[in-house]
């Protein structure tokens, strides 16, 4: 799903406000696409580490502040090329870590970052996801995948040729399958030759519409039109 309009932001917080049928909230994948052109990252050269001699699990890291930095990423690990652990630090140039192992030596690295914005203000955007993505396959080959976007209720798959097709939700469920013939895909009239109801739409057990499929013939090839028809 997508926000209705682009948003300028430095941080992203995801909050679940509703789950159908009182189900458990879970996130399979979260991808955020933004514009990092103005962001800057600077490696900090002067880094000082003081390990607690009485409890080697603790270490205090201090570094020279970088002018204009929004924050710092402190990376550490037991080998120079394997700094897989990290902390993010804001409004400070020191941090104490209490979770090291006693025996090994540790290596540390600090990187300053500037997000490229000169302000921060909280802005809440609410979006109602209609699903993830829908895809059309011809036999075992996936032809095209489309993201369901809020406010967009029609999705068109062009240049459909005769063959066996499967239309599914990317989470797995098959919504429709069937063979489309040349007679169904070619013609001079733009009247549907095949129609099908793919799925009910709604929240929980409340049905508010239907997802429908139509096959529209063309001069040489046809097209499949999927519409989200909301009644409420």
User: 171 near 132, Cβ under 8 Å?
Assistant: yes
* Range(s) of the chain covered by CATH 2.60.40.10: 40-114
Q: Which pLDDT score, from 0 to 100, does residue 36 have? A: 60
Give 118's contacts (C-beta < 8 A, 6+ positions apart). none
Q: Which pLDDT score, from 0 to 100, does residue 120 have? A: 45
Q: For residue 230, what are the CA distances in angstroms to 145, 153, 208? A: 22, 9, 6
Q: Which pLDDT score, from 0 to 100, does residue 160 have? A: 94
Angle at 163 between CA 148 and CA 158, to 5 degrees: 40
What is the rounded CA–CA span in Å between residue 229 and residue 231?
7
Q: What are the pLDDT tens digits along the chain (232 aa)? A: 566 677 777 677 777 776 666 677 887 766 665 556 667 888 998 999 999 999 999 999 999 999 888 889 999 999 998 999 999 898 899 999 999 999 999 999 999 988 765 544 445 555 545 456 888 999 888 889 888 877 788 999 999 999 999 998 866 678 899 999 999 999 888 899 999 998 877 666 677 888 899 999 999 999 999 998 887 5
Smallest Cα–Cα separation from 224: which of 134, 141, 147, 150? 134
* Range 40-114 has CATH code 3.40.50.10470: no
Q: Which residue has the tokens 């989470």?
A: 171
Q: Say whether pTM exceeds 0.85.
A: no
Q: Which pLDDT score, from 0 to 100, does residue 96 have? A: 95
Give 149's contacts (C-beta < 8 A, 6+ positions apart). 1, 2, 130
Q: Which pLDDT score, from 0 to 100, does residue 121 have? A: 43
Q: Which pLDDT score, from 0 to 100, does residue 47 have? A: 94
């Amino acid at each position: 799903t997508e926000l209705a309009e682009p948003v300028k932001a430095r941080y992203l917080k995801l909050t679940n406000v509703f789950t159908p049928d009182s189900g458990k909230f879970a996130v399979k994948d979260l991808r955020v696409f933004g514009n990092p052109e103005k962001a800057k990252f600077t490696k900090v050269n002067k880094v000082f580490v003081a390990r607690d001699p009485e409890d080697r699990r603790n270490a205090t890291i201090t570094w020279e502040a970088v002018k204009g930095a929004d924050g710092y990423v402190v990376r550490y690990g037991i080998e120079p090329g394997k700094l897989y652990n990290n902390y993010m630090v804001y409004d400070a140039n020191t941090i104490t870590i209490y979770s090291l192992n006693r025996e090994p030596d540790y290596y540390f690295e600090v990187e300053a970052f500037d997000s490229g914005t000169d302000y921060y203000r909280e802005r809440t955007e609410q979006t109602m996801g209609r699903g993830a993505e829908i895809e059309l396959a011809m036999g075992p080959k996936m032809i095209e995948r489309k993201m369901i976007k809020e406010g967009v209720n029609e999705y068109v798959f062009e240049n459909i040729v005769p063959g066996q097709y499967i239309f599914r939700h990317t989470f797995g469920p098959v919504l429709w399958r069937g063979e489309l013939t040349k007679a169904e895909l070619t013609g001079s009239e733009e009247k549907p030759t095949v129609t099908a109801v793919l799925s009910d739409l709604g929240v929980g057990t409340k049905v508010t519409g239907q997802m429908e499929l139509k096959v529209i013939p063309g001069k040489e090839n046809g097209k499949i039109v999927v519409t989200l028809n909301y009644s409420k």
